[in-house]
């Protein structure tokens, strides 16, 4: 008890075990020290972790226009000639189906996510006019990182995450990935990273500008946005 009140007062049971062995020559393991400390009620209280950014679960919504809900996710690709993976990280607008921005790289980190989120806001000219814009993701390490949560707070975005094992809650980005897999990845055997980058980038450009979608009047995403602006078609409400 004198040892605990003196030199060992500020230590947890693991460090106490080291000191008892080193200073007092006792042959004792940390489990025994833990039990003794527990019996004497001298265990240090565990630190309670406080999370600055609370987890928001994905909610059901009705979308009436662009820039109300974005979805983001990561898709892997394989470079046959180099025997390694590459990553596509993209953001889709659920209402108009456009891929707003994306990152293609041999790595995919939180900093890349922050970068394309900032680029998306700039492309949509939203930095001075963000109005309850929601960014939805799964629970991957990039999306739950402090760096991304801090960026969302800085950009005045609402970040919500889907429950585990519910990809249907991120259905629109998942649908894009299925299209990408069927119409791009399976049609090409990439030999180099630069080749993969060029082909995937061109596919996304064609997806936005040319590829028609049955859910938006058989128009491409960019054609749909233009048709709404010109009053040619009425916006379609989307329930998610």
Question: Domain total for the chain?
Answer: 2
Residues of the chain below pLDDT 70: 1-13, 16, 19-20, 23-24, 33, 36-54, 128-131
Inside any domain, residue 103: yes
Q: How much is the pLDDT for 148?
A: 97
Let me know whether 88 and 28 are in one domain.
Answer: no
In a domain, 6, yes or no: yes
19 plus 88 within the same structural domain = no
Pairing of strands 238-239, 69-79: unpaired
CATH label of the domain that carries residue 105: 3.30.420.10
Is the residue at 36 inside a domain?
Answer: yes
* Residue 165 belongs to a domain: yes
| Claim to verify: residue 73 and residue 133 sit in the same structural domain | yes
Burial 145-174 (b: 16+ CB within 10 A, else e): beebbebbeebebebbbbeeeeeebbebbb
Do 11 and 74 fall into the same domain? Answer: no
The predicted structure's pLDDT at residue 225: 98
Residue 55 located in a structural domain: no
Judgement on whether residues 33 and 124 belong to the same structural domain of the protein: no
What are 78-89's pLDDT values in tens digits? 999 999 999 999
Nearest CA-CA partner of 113 in 54, 83, 163, 71: 71
Chain centroid offset of residue 66 CA: 21
Measure the CA–CA gap between 106 and 232, rounded to whole angstroms. 42
Same domain for 9 and 114: no
Are 175 and 71 in a shared domain? yes
Contacts of 92 (CB under 8 A, 6+ apart): 70, 71, 72, 98, 99, 100, 172, 173, 176
* Structural domain span for residue 220: 62-239
CA dihedral 171, 119, 206, 204 (to 10 degrees): -60
The pairing of strands 238-239 and 62-63 is antiparallel
Single pTM value for the model: 0.78
Residue count (the chain): 240
Whether 181 is covered by a domain: the verdict is: yes
In this prediction, residue 6 carries a pLDDT of: 45
Same domain flag for 105 and 209: yes
Give me 223's structure tokens: 């054609």
Residues 70 and 186 grouped into a single domain: yes
Same domain, 88 and 201: yes
Residue 143 lies in a domain: yes
Has residue 16 been placed in a domain? yes
Q: Are residues 33 and 143 in the same domain?
A: no
Residues 6+ apart with CB under 8 A from 160: 56, 57, 58, 59, 134, 135, 136, 137
18 with 87, same domain? no
């Amino acid at each position: 008890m004198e040892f605990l009140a003196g030199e060992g007062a500020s230590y947890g049971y693991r460090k106490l075990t080291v000191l008892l062995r080193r200073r007092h020559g006792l042959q004792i393991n940390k489990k025994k020290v833990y039990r003794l400390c527990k019996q004497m009620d001298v265990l240090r209280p565990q630190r309670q972790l406080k999370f600055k950014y609370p987890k928001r679960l994905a909610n059901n919504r009705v979308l009436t226009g662009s820039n109300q809900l974005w979805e983001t996710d990561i898709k892997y690709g394989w470079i046959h000639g180099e025997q390694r993976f590459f990553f596509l990280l993209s953001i889709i607008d659920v209402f108009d189906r456009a891929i707003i921005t994306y990152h293609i790289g041999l790595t995919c980190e939180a900093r890349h996510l922050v970068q394309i989120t900032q680029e998306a806001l700039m492309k949509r000219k939203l930095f001075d006019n963000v109005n309850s814009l929601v960014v939805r993701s799964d629970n991957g390490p990039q999306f739950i990182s402090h760096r991304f949560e801090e960026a969302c707070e800085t950009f005045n975005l609402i970040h919500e995450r889907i429950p585990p094992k519910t990809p249907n809650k991120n259905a629109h980005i998942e649908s894009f990935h299925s299209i990408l897999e069927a119409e791009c990845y399976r049609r090409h055997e990439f030999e180099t990273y630069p080749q993969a980058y060029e082909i995937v980038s061109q596919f996304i450009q064609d997806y936005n500008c040319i590829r028609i979608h049955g859910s938006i009047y058989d128009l491409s995403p960019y054609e749909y946005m233009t048709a709404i602006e010109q009053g040619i078609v009425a916006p379609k409400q989307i329930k998610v």
